[in-house]
Amino acid sequence: MNDDPSKTGAKKPADEAPSRSRPSLAIRRHLRGYFFAGVLITAPIGLTTYLAWLFIHWVDNQVTPLLPPVYNPETYLPFSIPGLGLLIVCVGLTLIGALTAGILGRMLTRVSENLLNRMPIIRGVYGSIKQIFETVLSHKSESFREVVLFEYPRRGSWAMGFITGRTEGEIQDLTAEEVVNVFLPTTPNPTSGYLLFLPRRELVKLSMTVEEGIKMVVSGGIVTPPDRRPPELRGKKLIAPADGDKRTIPVEPES
């Protein structure tokens, strides 16, 4: 009896290996895709929840120990209350705002500001911080409401920034053109960056929101917002290449 596979026509085990490996490769690809899909879904939610929990826990540790034990609900409960310190801070700020709206509150505010303004170093820090908060929290403020594109750090290289306001004072008086304050953030930390004074005519206003612009900066360009311009403008190149003075930069009228 001849058992030679080459003569009997039987398949070799090596010939069956590729056919058996194909389903296993497909299964591994599907499992890998499911794994990354799970990471994309759970990672943003998990990180956001973790950061929020860290912030709430930090505020609780700073504020809750300041409460007298008699007024602390955790004294009478067998468990701690997450967010108690944050709730106390929000209620306290609201009460302070309500008190300062009256005559006595405004008088105390003026007395405290006059006292701080007489201190050589503290008055500069206090004045700067107060001006920043008034500018950012003001409902009529135009700071950080426009995302613009401009050439930086050389011709033909473009950077994205945020308009923080109109340039005033000595800087505007010394420049021949109208310039605006533009904040150029760094990636991936948008809290640091550069303050630039750029002519308004060299700025290209973008249709994206400030939140979308910050997401793009933090992600390093991975998260790119869609083009929300009208359909008839999406196919047109409004900015020409860097070729000397032959540039086509749309001038945004002053609002």
Residue 71 included in any domain: no
For the chain, the domain total comes to: 1
Report H helices in 101-121: 103-117
**Mean pLDDT over the full length of the chain:** 80
Residue 68 included in any domain: no
Stated as kind and residue range, the H or E segment containing 161 is strand 158-166
Phi-psi sector, 9: left (phi>0), alpha (psi -120 to 50), beta? left
What is the predicted pLDDT for the residue at 240?
58
Residue 162 included in any domain: yes
Residue 8 has pLDDT above 80, yes or no: no
Euclidean distance between the first and the last CA atom of the chain, given in angstroms as a whole number? 98
Residue 216 included in any domain: yes
Amino acid code (one letter) for 77 = L
CB atoms within 10 A of CB 202: 18
**Percentage of the chain lying above the pLDDT 70 cut:** 80
The pTM of this model reads 0.57
Residue 251 has pLDDT above 50, yes or no: no
**What domain range includes position 169?**
147-230
Residue 172 included in any domain: yes
